[in-house]
Amino acid sequence: MTPYFSSEHTVLARKNLRRSLRNKRRQLTKSQQQQAAQLICQHLRQQAWFINATRLAIYMATDGEINPLMLAKMAHKMGKKVYLPVLHPLHKNQLFFIRFTPTTPLHKNRLGILEPRLKGYGLKRHNNGSIQALDLILMPLVGFDAQGGRLGMGGGFYDRTLAIKPAAFKRPKLIGLAHECQKVECLPLETWDIPLAGIVTPSKVYKISKKYQL
């Protein structure tokens, strides 16, 4: 099981690890990134939880993350509805999800990440893209371990968005996408970190024990 450390120890350990792992993925070439995206698509199209998902969320890659746009194209061809996270305009440091198609206009948010434009969109109109309605969320990450621990960029957007009582709704399956070089033996985690149900890399699908799945 991924251990939880004291807060002071965890902050320092996570900061150092985040810097190291971000540097590793930034060093990957464009060709390596493209091949990684292709291999992940091949893995996902064989997974029952992906095949059966009708509504799934992806993300816009940045800083060397696995690029899921090839995956989004595959999902569209399979008749699935694809969504992108958007910085919530009302709830600070939280996300909500807007439908994403090949013609969806995008712009850079305050973090420099592409997201659908909010102008002309109403939150109520997009309730079908809320967390409750999604079957699957494919998440970016900086680091992971085989126990389902996830180290993000440090903003806590996904953790805050998902920090709803489990009884409130059946959470979507949370799957991390990563390069194999982002794997570590054991991540230092905080109590609020949301564990993943699985991680997909170009070389392997890590299926986490049901004990740690959401």
Residue 1 lies in a domain: no
- Structural domain tally of the chain? 1
Report if residue 19 sits inside a domain.
yes
Q: What is the pLDDT of residue 100?
A: 94
Backbone angles phi, psi at 39, to 5 degrees: -65, -40
145 found inside a domain? yes
User: According to the model, what pLDDT value does residue 211 have?
Assistant: 46
Give the CB-side neighbour count of residue 183, counting CA atoms within 13 A: 18
CATH of the domain at 50: 3.40.50.10420
Give me the pLDDT at residue 2, please: 52
> CA–CA separation, 177 vs 179, rounded Å?
7
Residue 2 lies in a domain: no
Note the pLDDT of residue 126.
Answer: 47
Provide the pLDDT for residue 156. Answer: 76
What crossing angle do the helices spanning 69-77 and 30-44 adopt, rounded to 10°?
A: 30
- pLDDT digit string (tens) for 86-122? 887 666 777 888 999 988 988 888 888 888 877 655 4
Please identify every stretch of the chain with a pLDDT value under 50, giving residue numbers as ranges: 1, 4-6, 122-128, 167-169, 211-214
Distances (CA, A) of 12 to 6, 22, 44, 189: 10, 16, 34, 11
96 domain-assigned: yes
Owning domain of residue 123: 7-212
Say what the pTM is. 0.83
- Provide the pLDDT for residue 83: 95
